[in-house]
């Protein structure tokens, strides 16, 4: 779920198209595409159906679906027209080279029909669509005055200075974990979604180094549903969620369960 939409064309702040609006558009013009994507997302996230989940968590995961659908899914590149008979021909495609994201389709549509969306906003939308990615980041520094967080991508590598209102919350931090989606717009990186996960502790740099090593040495590169599943869903090898895996590790059962799953 994106957090804001710029209202003034010549504002210094980049325009952000709310992913809820993207989802709502597809619910109206092509429910089949929306429903197919939602089934795929929740199948991959794999929440434990036998475990009660807080309303707040379920709502947050639905927001993550909005973001995944908008940014990571791909649809027929005929785009959206606002005409139901035409838009019903849009389909999900599983080769991104053969389609466009729902976010991009919605951006082009609102540019065509809304006089308040000019060239500059459209370029912001295109830049977000072209550059956004989600990953697990280690916080190396945060400056509330500048509104900047310096983070390291623990999965893919790289250091990013990210403009974020969360810099105030983490001001002065030299550690901590944030799992989020960022994009480069108007020459700088910024957060463009609600974080999947945040943790101020542990903040020991050795923890960040250990997490980075575990991803890079294993070659594991989770996609977006994989990141959500990592914290809230059931692991594919053990069937345990994050809390259950921590409990199993404490009791010495985790390695045994992993070996059983591999056998």
DSSP per-residue letters across 141-202: EEETTTTEEEEEETTT--EEEEE-GGGTTTTT-S--EEEEEEEEETTEEEE-S--SEEE---
Report pLDDT for 234: 80
124: three-class secondary structure by DSSP:
helix
Residue 195: φ, ψ to 5°? -60, 145
What is the reported pLDDT for 14?
Answer: 85
- Quote the DSSP letter at residue 248: H
Residue 224 CA from chain centroid, whole number = 6
d(CA 74, CA 97): 9
**Do 55 and 126 reside in the same domain of the chain?**
yes
Look at residue 10 and tell me if it is in a domain: no
Kind and range of the H or E element at 99? strand 99-100
Would you say residue 7 lies in a domain? Answer: no
Look at residue 104 in the predicted model and tell me its pLDDT: 96
Same domain, 29 and 125: yes
Domain with residue 180: its CATH number is: 2.40.50
CA-CA distance, 72 to 70, in Å (whole number)?
Answer: 6
E strand or H helix that includes residue 214: helix 205-218
* Any domain includes 152: yes
Residues 137 and 127 in one domain: no
Question: What tens-digit pLDDT sequence spans the chain (263 residues)?
Answer: 554 344 444 456 788 899 999 999 999 999 999 999 999 999 999 888 888 889 999 999 999 999 999 999 999 988 888 877 788 888 999 877 789 999 999 999 999 999 999 999 999 999 999 999 999 999 999 999 999 999 999 999 999 999 988 888 888 888 889 999 999 999 999 999 999 999 888 778 788 888 888 887 777 888 999 999 988 988 664 454 545 545 544 445 444 544 444 44
Residue at 59 is within a domain? yes
What is the CB neighbour count within 10 angstroms for residue 240? 21
Same domain, 100 and 196: no
DSSP 31-80: HHHHHHHHHHHHHHH---TTS---HHHHHHHHHHHHHHHHHH--EETT--
Q: Provide the pLDDT for residue 167.
A: 86
CA distance 110 to 115: 9
Q: Which domain holds residue 161?
A: 133-222
- CB contact at 8 A, 197 and 190: no
Is 240 within the bounds of a domain?
yes
pLDDT at residue 1 in the model: 56
């Amino acid at each position: 779920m994106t957090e804001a939409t710029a209202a003034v064309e010549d504002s210094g702040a980049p325009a952000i198209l709310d992913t809820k609006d993207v989802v709502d558009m597809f619910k109206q013009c092509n429910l089949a595409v929306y429903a197919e994507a939602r089934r795929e997302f929740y199948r991959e996230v794999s929440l434990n159906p036998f475990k009660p989940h807080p309303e707040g968590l379920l709502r947050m995961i639905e927001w993550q679906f909005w973001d995944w659908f908008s940014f990571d899914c791909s649809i027929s590149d005929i785009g959206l027209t606002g005409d139901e008979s035409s838009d019903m021909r849009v389909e999900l495609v599983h080769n991104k080279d053969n389609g466009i994201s729902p976010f991009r389709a919605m951006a082009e549509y609102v540019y065509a029909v809304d006089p308040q969306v000019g060239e500059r906003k459209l370029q912001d939308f295109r830049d977000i669509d072209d550059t956004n990615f989600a990953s697990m980041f280690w916080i190396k520094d945060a400056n509330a005055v500048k509104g900047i967080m310096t983070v390291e991508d623990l999965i893919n590598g790289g250091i990013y200075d990210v403009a974020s209102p969360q810099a105030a919350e983490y001001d002065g931090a030299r550690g901590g974990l944030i799992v989020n989606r960022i994009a480069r717009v108007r020459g700088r990186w910024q957060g463009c979604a609600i974080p999947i996960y945040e943790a101020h502790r542990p903040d020991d740099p050795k923890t960040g180094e250990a997490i980075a090593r575990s991803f890079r040495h294993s070659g594991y590169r989770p996609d977006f549903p994989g990141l959500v599943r990592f914290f809230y869903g059931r692991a594919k090898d053990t069937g345990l969620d994050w809390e259950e895996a921590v409990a199993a590790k404490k009791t010495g059962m985790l390695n045994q369960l992993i070996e059983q799953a591999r056998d």
